[in-house]
Chain A
Amino acid sequence: MKTKSLIYYLLISSIFLFSLVSIWKILVTLQGVELKNFNFAIIITLGIAISLLNLIIGEKLNYLIKSSLFALIFTFVDGYIVQVMPIWYNIGIFAILIFFSLKINKYNQKYLASEHSSQIVVFDFLTLFGIVLFSFVILFPFYMMLITSFKTQAALLINPLDFSINFNQDFKELFKSYFIIFDTYNFGRYILISTFVSVGTVIVTLIFAIPAAYAVARLNFFGKNFLSTSILIIYMFPAIVLVIPLYTVFSQLGLRNSVGGLLIVYTATTLPVAIYMLQGYFRSIPKELEEAAIMDKLNWFGIIIKIILPLSIPAISSVALYVFMIAWNEFLFSLMFLDNPNSFTLSRAIQYLSGDAETPRQYLMAGSVVVTIPVLLIFVYFEKYLVSGLTAGSVKG
């Protein structure tokens, strides 16, 4: 066994344990339990002791017995000597320690003697640490958003760290913010408008993009190369430089505050990427299929409907989902074009709600949950399609 590996192993494993326990403590604090100290020195010492014991015991004990033993020791010291906490806190600590002990089980004296063992130890723990940390950092705001929407203003003011939800209360009381945003703030209407605009954008974009993409992929015409290179360049122009002229023109034409106007703009801004994605896919369809169709005297409309469309369902789904996501999440144009609450989209409605300093934040968060959940559900369910859309459309975002 190399000393360097041993020190690395002891230090990094105990730091990893400390971060696990600390994240658990943060979550516990957010349930309103008073907990003021991470106890860095004690946890690190305990961690080093357990890691060392793990090396000393090695395989003399069954790994399950060994893990339970470590977990029991740690839980006892932490929960009864250092601080007395609710029992569910201790159960959490116990689970973390079982997980930790199982992870360090593979390190024994022989392992630490092998080549590069210090590096491998560091990499292993960094990986684990990364998984835990990134999950926490990413999911925490979403968790906050959800929980805040179930709280009341008063409860949040009394203890801003108490995010426990009282499930004993009435269903109506628990979902009060949701009832209010739907009853008082008309969110039902905004959901309908957002859905209409997003689905409408998808349909119109596909109607415009499929023929154009087919032409770019298959037909020869003057200016084709120019067109296919300029598609990407056009796509890279941001909304912010289009906003002022569009605002002036739309104002003068009376198109502001109209959902139709918004739909046109969304379609135009997503068209380039839709054409770009679709033409790439259309090129991969064997030409022979179409040649046979031309023999059968099918015109271009027939070719697109009967041959191209059925073969490119995956690509079209990708484009549709991607465009839906863009339109659903879009904010700048809806801010510029809509100022009549009758034609708000969800994003615009939430921003409008936040403009009033008096609006309780749980309403704001309930609105945020309402706008976020559909996209996340669609994303999780159709991840495969959306990821390819994201990758292709990633020149923007």
Chain B
Amino acid sequence: MSDTLSKIEKRTAYILILPAVFLVFSIILFPIFANVWISFKEVGLKDIRIPEPRAKKIVKSIKDNPDQLKIIYKLRNSSLILEIRDVKFQDKLPKNIKPINLDERCRVKSNKIYCEFGNWEAKYRENFQILLQSSDDKQINKEKLKTIKPKLTGKSDNILLNTNFTLKNFKKVFFQNEFFDLLTTTFYYTFFGTIGSIIFGILTAQLVNQKFFGRTFMRSVLLFPYVGPVVALAYTWELLLDPYSGTLNNLLMNFQVIQEPLNLLGQKYLTINFFGFDIKLRLALTTVIIFEIWRYFPLAFLFILARLQAVPKELYEAAEVDGAGPLQKFINITLPQITAVISILFMIRFIWNFNKFEDIFLLTGGASGTRTLPINVYEQGFTISDIGMGSAVSIVIVALLLIFMFVYFKLIGKRADEN
């Protein structure tokens, strides 16, 4: 009895989870594996279009002979790389028209022309002509003839499905792509973005954890940057930071903080003289990191606030009795209580900042020294149109990600053991 019950339970469970598993598998897991496949291939953006036989139909009248017409089909293989096999052609003719001197590859059957063009190599082109004769005395309607579209079919290889593999992409990724530069930029962006958002998260959480007028309002406001659409916020910042008409530069110049406008998003380095030392600051990268902190500190805030609110009040009261000031309370009570949250937050934010694409893409497009690995995926794949390279960079990201995740789950596991 219980045996059949558990069988039913199992079957029910599979029915319930299967749709979700199928969807996640095909849209998330399959692409990750597909990346591995594509990264070992030489594929450009144009190759992923399946080659198609195409025909452009041009109708021409013939001088001195109103009963005849000429149709020119400009035939071509849409692909520059792949051949199309067994190209078949089909076009319809109005009833009163018959072709004369028809090409030997074609035949006519009940007002339709059928042709077999065989194999077309890549870039194949041909101007294929048909001469038409009106079978009655009526003039041939040119316009009507034009509106009928020919149909073409053919078989072709899909470049993605063949088994030609190469290591070229990975060689390029590591040796011709300023890989070290990419990695350091990504690391700066990730690390400082994470640290910054956590620091501001701690500060704001500490703030909101106190009682003051407008506290709930403040809590909502602090989450605005995280909730707002990235497109809107990035463009607002771009406007704000514009060197000529931007508010920030104009304000700073108005109050004589700076003399010359700063191109905060378009300048790679800013040299600052610091007590006689010239320090080269990565300006655009710094700006992008600040945007990143501005947008994501709310998440750290939310986490840390939740933790702070769970700290027993008695701890603080006891400390007060012992004569501890605010600073001692913060260092000796608050900080130890939130270290666990902070370490988990650090890992989560690190992984996510590492993968961030939209923010940099919208602010700088990866220019002026802000090219990170995710930006490079897009650039390789869609700006340079090298899908294989894009995939290879994706694979590098996934590999690094797996390492980070391993550390993260180790950390969580350790926390769970401690509790």
A106 within 8 A of B: no
In the bound complex, how far is the Cα of B128 from the Cα of A213, in angstroms? 61
CB–CB B32/A241 < 8 A:
yes
In the bound complex, how far is the Cα of B50 from the Cα of A252, in angstroms? 7
CB–CB A244/B390 < 8 A:
yes
CB–CB B26/A137 < 8 A:
no
CB–CB A252/B158 < 8 A:
yes
Contacting residue for B378 out of A234, A243, A379, CB 8 A: A243
In the bound complex, how far is the Cα of B253 from the Cα of A133, in angstroms? 21
Q: What is the total number of residues of chain A having a CB less than 8 Å from a CB of chain B?
A: 103
Using A268-B24, A391-B303, A391-B306 as known contacts, say yes or no to A215 and B13 having CB atoms under 8 A apart.
Answer: yes
Considering residues B13, B26, B230, B235, which has the most beta carbons from chain A within 10 angstroms of its beta carbon? B13
**Distance (Å) between the CB of A92 and the closest chain B CB?**
18
In the bound complex, how far is the Cα of B208 from the Cα of A138, in angstroms? 15
Chain A residue with the shortest CB-CB distance to B6:
A220
Contacts of A127 in B (CB 8 A): 207, 210, 212
In the bound complex, how far is the Cα of B232 from the Cα of A331, in angstroms? 11
The stretch of A44-52, A59-67, A79-87, A115-123 that contacts the partner chain: A115-123
A212 within 8 A of B: yes
**Distance (Å) between the CB of A386 and the closest chain B CB?**
8
Interface string of A180-213 (1 = CB under 8 A from B): 0000000000000000000000000000110110
Contacts of B68 in A (CB 8 A): none
A88 within 8 A of B: no
CB–CB B26/A145 < 8 A:
no
B247 within 8 A of A: yes
Contacting residue for A242 out of B31, B230, B255, B409, CB 8 A: B31
CB–CB B302/A387 < 8 A:
yes
**Distance (Å) between the CB of B394 and the closest chain A CB?**
4
Q: What is the total number of residues of chain B having a CB less than 8 Å from a CB of chain A?
A: 97
- Which residues of B approach A to under 8 Å, CB–CB? 6, 9-10, 12-17, 19-21, 23-24, 26-32, 34-35, 38, 43, 48-50, 158, 160, 203-204, 207, 210, 212, 214, 218, 220-233, 235-237, 239-240, 244-247, 250-251, 254-256, 294, 296, 299, 302-303, 306, 323-327, 348, 351-352, 355, 357-358, 362, 374, 377-378, 381-382, 387, 390-391, 394, 397-398, 401, 405, 409
CB–CB A240/B232 < 8 A:
no
Considering residues B30, B204, B239, which has the most beta carbons from chain A within 10 angstroms of its beta carbon? B239
CB–CB B232/A350 < 8 A:
yes
Contacting residue for B251 out of A161, A215, A275, A351, CB 8 A: A161
Contacts of A390 in B (CB 8 A): 223, 226, 299, 302
Contacting residue for A119 out of B38, B239, B327, CB 8 A: B327
**Distance (Å) between the CB of A23 and the closest chain B CB?**
11
Contacts of B43 in A (CB 8 A): 248
A160 within 8 A of B: yes
Q: Other than the known A331-B230, A395-B352, what 17 A-B pairs have Cβ atoms closer than 8 Å?
A: A36-B254, A36-B255, A127-B212, A138-B225, A142-B236, A163-B247, A212-B16, A214-B16, A237-B401, A241-B35, A244-B387, A245-B34, A248-B160, A271-B20, A332-B357, A372-B233, A375-B228
Considering residues B16, B160, B235, B244, which has the most beta carbons from chain A within 10 angstroms of its beta carbon? B16
**Distance (Å) between the CB of A331 and the closest chain B CB?**
5
**Distance (Å) between the CB of B237 and the closest chain A CB?**
6
Contacting residue for A394 out of B6, B254, B255, B303, CB 8 A: B303
CB–CB A350/B23 < 8 A:
no
Contacts of B226 in A (CB 8 A): 390, 397
**Distance (Å) between the CB of A295 and the closest chain B CB?**
13
A168 within 8 A of B: no
The residues in A between 61 and 114 inclusive whose CB is less than 8 angstroms from any CB of B are none
In the bound complex, how far is the Cα of B204 from the Cα of A252, in angstroms? 49
In the bound complex, how far is the Cα of B397 from the Cα of A237, in angstroms? 10
CB–CB A347/B254 < 8 A:
no
